[in-house]
Structure formats: structure tokens, C-alpha cells
A and B are shown apart, each in its own frame.
Chain A
Amino acid sequence: MSEKTTSSNKSFLNDAANRALIFQIVLLAIVVFVGYYLFSNLQANLADQGISTGFAFLNQPAGFPVLIHLIDYTEADTYGRAFAVALINTLVISLMGIVLATIIGVIMGLARLSSNWLVARLATVYIETLRNIPLLLQMFFWYFAVLAALPIPKNSIILGDFFLNKRGVYSPNPVTQDGFGLVIAGFVFSIIAAIALIVWAKKRQTRTGLWFPAYWSSLGMIVVITVLALVISGFPIEFELPQKSRFNVTGGMVLPPEFVAVLIALSTYTGAFIAEIVRAGILSVSWGQTEAARSLGLKDSLTQRLIVLPQALRVIIPPLTSQFLNLTKNSSLGAAIAYPELVAVVMGTTLNQTGQAIESIGLCMLVYGTLSLTISLFMNWYNKKMSLAER
């Protein structure tokens, strides 16, 4: 008995659980202490500089212009409004970038696997070149070397109804007339009907084994109904064309060079990474699967759609998610060429004018954190949906 007590006295530190406990208490103490120390320094410094903390500055007038704004914005608006404008700019460029990069990536990934030697080589060169050059350099290249070298508006390059010059890309701007509501209603209705048709076809196939060409017929249905609505309402859409006067181009939809440069750079750069992911995903499906599908008598298109693609997607989706996240985060590089996105507006101009460093940077980190979380939640859900239903 006494022996046991001595041994337990001796072994208090010998017990791994106790050591872990002590270690963690020390760690927690260090974290809390360092946090407190930094925080108290911060408060002292802020008090010295006469900066009041808090988000009240968001209600003050900003007084600076934001060149690209999709919602109304003037210099008289508040910092909060400027923040919203910047947030929308970030979201727009990320979303468009993701769509374009995916398209480029899939095309280039398939091209690299092509049996055509020349096509495969070209795709390889594309991928290996873009992947190994920093994104910022590529953005500078598009903005300062390519788009800035375009002619002045007087000598715009004309491609049909499109004009290219230093001030950006001018394209026809669709303007809706009265009665366009009918077209939209027809379009929405046809999509609902198409979804219903696909669901019905799937159910019937599971029940009876009878197959129905639901995808083609629903595509046809959407086109027919929308065109019909257009005809009935008398084509209530007009294109406002850009007009070239002697010295300038006016009207139409203008895509500023900053936007074009960021979009091209982001989507081609990320596209190169996605191409490698797509290639790896397709190669991961063993050739036996394709052979088995053929011996079952499936056509090549069906083999790809029903056998290869679902299995490849399982491999593709997780790394694809991180590429989407990277693209969203990389959109912050637009700040370097004055595309007014979150970092440029909030951590650049707002921070410089108000000195609210903690709030500005915190706000940016919060937004990027939320975006990352949203994208990964969505992709995890999609991944779960696509993953193997194991019994």
C-alpha cells in the first residue's frame, strides 16, 4: 500500500496524461498572455494616435471615387457603401473567373490527353508556361503590356460591333423593352418544366427501365418556349450599339481594362491548374472501366457520361475546390493594377484615409474567411452527392 502511494507520488509527472494537462495549461496561458499583451499594446498605441476603434467610420462619407461600381455610388456615399461596391466587384470577378477557368481547364485538360500529338503538345506548353509564372506578373503583362498598348479611342480596333481601345472593350448592350417580362416568364416556366421532365424520366427509368431522352428534349423545350415568347411579344430586346465618333467611342457596354486584365489573368492562370486536375482525374479511371462499358454495348458518348465522368469527378472535385478557393483569394491581386476590389478599396484607400487598420484588415479577413467557408461547404455538399454510395 505504502509502496503504491510512493510510486504514485513519484509518477505524477511520469504520467503522460498529467504531462499533457500541464503542457496544455502552459500553452493556454502563453496564448492568453501573448494575446493580452498584444491587445494592451494595441490599445495604448491607438490611444496615442487618437484613433477610436469601432465600425462607426463606415457611416462617414468616403469622398473617393470607385471607378467600377455595379450599384450606384458617388463620392458622397459612405465607406460602408464603398465596402459593398468593392465586395460586389470581388464577387463578380471571382464568379466569372471560376466559370471561365473551369471551361479553360476542362478544354486544356482534355486537349493534353488528346491522341492528336500537336494538340497535346500545345496544351502541355500552355499549362507548363502559365503555371510557372507568377500571377501578378501575368496580370501586369495583360494590363501594362497588352491592354495599355491598344490604340487610343480615335483609332479603335473594330471587330463587328465590338470596339477595342485603351479605355477598354466596348460591346453591344442589351436593353430590354416593354413585354420582356413575358420572355422571362416563358424562360423560367420552361426551366421548371424541364426539371420536372428530367425528374419524371429518372423515376420512370428506375421503375420500369424504360429510357427517355430527357436532356435533349428539355433543351429543345427551353429553346422552343423562349423563342415562342420572343416572337409573341415582338422581340422586346434591342442592342444599344457602341458608336464611334471622331475622337471617342460612346454607348454600349464598357468593360474597363482593369476588369479585363484581372479576368484574363485569373482565368488563364487557374485554368492551367484545373487542366492538370482534370487530366489526373480522367487518368485515374482505369482503362478496364471503359472496356467493360464497351463490352456492355454502351456507345462512346454514354461510356464517357455514365462510366468515366462520374468516377473521374470523384477524384477531381476536392482539388478543384481548393483551386476555386485560390482563385477567390487571388482576385485580391487586382489591387495591384487598380481593379477596385476588396483589398484595394478597404485595405488600401479606406485604411489610408481613416487609419482604421484593425477594422479594415479584420473586415477583409472576415469576408475572405466567409467566402472560403461558403465555397468549401458547397463543394463538400457536391462532393458528398457525387461520392460512392457505399453499402
Chain B
Amino acid sequence: MAIEFKPSPSLPPPVRSVGAVAWVRQNLLSSPLNVFLTLFSVYILYLIIPPVVEWGIINASFDGESKADCTGSGACWSFIGVYFDQFMYGLYPSEETWRINLALIILVILIGVFAVKTVNKLYLSLVIILAYPIVAYFLFAGGVFGLEVVETSLWGGLFLTTLLGVVGIVTSFPLGVLLALGRQSNMPIAKSVCIVFIETIRAVPLITILFMASVMIPLFLPEGMNFNKLLRVLIGITLFSSAYMAEVIRGGLQAIPKGQYEAADASGLSYWQSMILVILPQALKLVIPGIVNTFIGLFKDTTLVYIVGMFDLLGRIQAATHDSNWLGTTMEGYAFAGFIYWAACFGMSRYSMRIERKLETGHKRN
């Protein structure tokens, strides 16, 4: 008679090795040192979070016309509300701010059209690069089609910050490509001109370049010829970022295997043909994350224009906190500015990481 073997049902795993308990044991309390570190971290969180929440939310006041209306002991967020337009557009006349919004909407639509498959991307890029800036310029500055003229000295806030960053990066791109190609070329004079330019710019802080742009450019120009401060600062920013851009692009050029250069030569392509058709498309694809990082750096660096007397987002906040109706609101202003800069830069860096993963094909030495 066969005995049927019936195993007793298996026991559930010990409570210490599954679920939340196990996770806590492994990740927070795995050794005496870790127990100490966990307690220490909790203490730091205890020091930071409750006061910040109390200040920013619980005791905060959200409406009012001046500091006196903020009765709570915490933050006075109505300050941001009252000054919001200035933080966004600077001193741009409030009945004209639709022009900035319109330019932004057009840009978003144009970029959105990229997703449509049937559109010729080359023409679209040309429209964005060549036609859009002209339209945007006339929208911002006015003077045509009955648009009221708005002096560039009134431009400010986040609008100016974005303008400086975007124009700086877009104009420095072609310059950076030329400098990178020059630095890689085997023509001694062209090469040394590029190296001297790139290394000089990279050795000095942006502030000196901005001072140079605002103080020295007028000295170098013939009498009577002068252009406005915004343009001078833009020239400074462009020269500055083109040197960094050149180094990023050089990295891409160096990563392309020599065989590609030789193959292009062997196909009988001229220098420019081989660069434009073979090398640059591959090299630029490799350095997109680097370009985004340069842009993030430039976006943060645009705050320095405040030192030469232009009022970007940070400049406007700095000015607003000196309003006698709103004394003692520096913390709120910096928190707001910090949040905007953080969101923009963090978003862009995540985006560049995603592109990096997406483009990770070929050319990677193992």
C-alpha cells in the first residue's frame, strides 16, 4: 500500500524578511552606523521641514495690498501676487504684454508642428530660425503695424531672462561650430586664432565680459556709432557662450571615429561637404546633452546682468523687495525666484538625461 506523501503547506516567510519591515531593516537600520545616520537625518528633517511648512503655508497670508495686510507671522505671498506682472515682464507696459504672450504662443505652436509627420522639417526649421526671430523682434520692440514702440530698457523679468538665455545659446551655436572646426583644423593660423579666443574667454569670469560689453564696447566704436545696452550685453553673452559651446562641440568631433573622416574624403567630398553631410550630423547628435547643459549654465548665468544694471527676474525681485510698502519680504521673493529657476533648470537637465539615453547608439567604446 502506497503511502501518499503530503507535504505540509509551506510557512509564510518570516515577517522580518518581507514587506515594509524588511525594507526598513535593510535600508535604514542595517548596522549601528546606519541607525545613527538615520536618526541624524530624521533630526535634520525635523529641523528643516516643520518651520518651513509653518512659515510657508500654515502662518502665511495669501492676500492683501501691502505688507501691513499680512497679519500672519509667516510668509506674505500676496507680495508675489502684487508684483507678479513685473516679475514676468519687467516694466513692459501692462496693456502691451499680450505681445510677449503671443510670441510665446507662436513659438509653442511652431515647435508643436514638428510632431506632425507630413511637414517638411527643413523648411520648418528655417522658419523657426530665420523668420520667427524677426517676427518676435517686431512684436517685442514695436514700431510697425501700429504697434507701440517699447524701449528695451523696459524689458525685464522672466521675459528678459529667457530672451538672454535663448538668444545667447542660438547665436552662439553657429559661432561655436566654426570655432570648434577651426580648433580641429590643420591650418596653423586659423587654429591659433581659435585657441586664443576660446581659452581667453574661458579663463575669465562672465562678469568681466559683461563689464567689457557695457563699458568697453562704446570705447572701441567710432564716434557717433553706438547701440543699446541690451544688444551689447547680448554680444557679450554670445561671445562667452560660444567659447563653451565650441569646447562641447569639439568633444563631439573628437568622438567620431577617424574612419568617418577618411570615408568622407575617399568619397571625394570637399571639406565643407564632408563636415556638413558626414561629420557634423553625427557629432552634433552626440553633444545634444552637452549643449543642453551649456544652456542650463547660461540660463543661470543670465542673473549676472543685474550687476551691470539690467533687471531680469532676479533684478526685478531685488528691486521689489526694496519697495517701502513691502519691506521684509526678501525671503518670499527669493523663494519664488528660486522655485522658477529650479523648475526650469531641473526640467531641462532631466530632459537632457532622457535624450542621452535615447541617443545612446554606436560610437561607444566598450
Which residue numbers of A lie inside 8 Å of B, CB to CB? 16, 20, 23-24, 27-28, 31, 38, 41-42, 44-46, 48, 114-119, 122, 128-129, 131-137, 140-141, 144-145, 148-149, 329-330, 332-333, 335-336, 343, 347, 351, 357-358, 361, 364-365, 368-369, 372-373
Q: Which residue of A lies closest to B42 (CB)?
A: A118
Residues of B within 8 A of A45 (CB): 218-220, 223
B223 touches A20 (CB 8 A): no
**CA of A41 to CA of B189 in the docked complex: distance in angstroms?**
26
Inter-chain contact A369/B204, CB cutoff 8 Å: yes
Per-position 1/0 for B255-294, Cβ under 8 A of A: 0000000000000000100000000000000000000000
6 pairs, CB–CB < 8 Å, chain A vs chain B: A41-B220, A44-B222, A132-B300, A136-B304, A145-B330, A333-B304
Residue B62, interface by CB 8 Å = no
Question: Is A116 touching B28 in the complex (CB atoms < 8 A)?
Answer: yes
CA distance A345 to B222 in the complex (A): 29
**Chain B residue nearest in CB terms to A368:** B204
Which of A41, A116, A336, A372 contacts B203 (CB under 8 A)? A372
B314:A140 contact, CB within 8 angstroms: yes
| 0/1 string, B332-366, CB within 8 A of A gives 1 | 00100110011001100100000000000000000
Query: Which residues of A lie under 8 Å from residue B30 when comparing CB positions?
Result: 115-116
Set B37, B44, B189, B208: member contacting A343, Cβ < 8 A: B208
Count contacts on B: residues with CB < 8 A to the other chain. 55
Whether the Cβ atoms of B190 and A135 lie closer than 8 Å is no
Q: Contacts A45-B223, A329-B204, A329-B205: A116 and B306 contacting too (C-beta < 8 A)?
A: no
Evaluate whether A119 and B193 lie within 8 angstroms (CB atoms) in the complex, with A136-B303, A343-B205, A368-B205 already known: no
Using A119-B41, A132-B341 as known contacts, say yes or no to A137 and B205 having CB atoms under 8 A apart: no
Which residues of chain B come closer than 8 Å to A23, judged between CB atoms? 187, 190
**Bound Cα distance from A28 to B192, whole angstroms:** 11
B147 within 8 A of A: no
A136 touches B306 (CB 8 A): yes
In the bound complex, CA of A368 to CA of B334 (Å):
30
Within 8 A of A (CB), among B290-326: 296, 300-301, 303-304, 306-307, 314, 318, 321
In the complex the two chains form, is B223's CB within 8 Å of A118's CB?
A: no
Q: In the bound complex, do residue B211 and residue A42 qualify as a contact, i.e. CB atoms below 8 Å apart?
A: no
Contact B207 A332 (CB under 8 A): yes
Known contacts A45-B219, A343-B205, A122 near B44 by CB under 8 Å: yes
CB distance from B67 to the nearest CB of A (A): 15
**B211–A134 CB distance below 8 A:** no
Query: Residues of B contacting A369 with CB < 8 Å?
Result: 200, 203-204
| CB closest chain-B residue, reference A269 | B300
Q: Report how far A140 CA is from B303 CA in the complex, Å.
A: 11
Residue of B nearest to A115 (CB): B30
The answer for the CA separation of A31 and B204 in the assembled complex, in Å, is 21
A347 and B211 contacting across the interface, CB-CB below 8 Å: yes
- A118 B38 Cβ-Cβ under 8 A: yes
- From residue A66, how far is it (CB to closest CB) to chain B in Å? 18
Q: Which residues of B have CB within 8 Å of A116?
A: 27-28, 30, 34, 37-38, 41
The complex places the Cα of A115 from the Cα of B200 at a distance, in Å, of 44
Given contacts A24-B190, A137-B334, 12 further A-B contacts (CB under 8 A): A41-B219, A116-B28, A118-B27, A132-B341, A133-B300, A144-B330, A343-B208, A351-B211, A361-B212, A364-B208, A368-B204, A372-B202
In the bound complex, what is the Cα–Cα distance between A343 and B207 (angstroms)?
A: 8
Q: Could you say which residues of chain B place their CB within 8 Å of the CB of A31? A: 193
Q: Which single residue of chain B is at the shortest CB-CB distance from A117?
A: B27
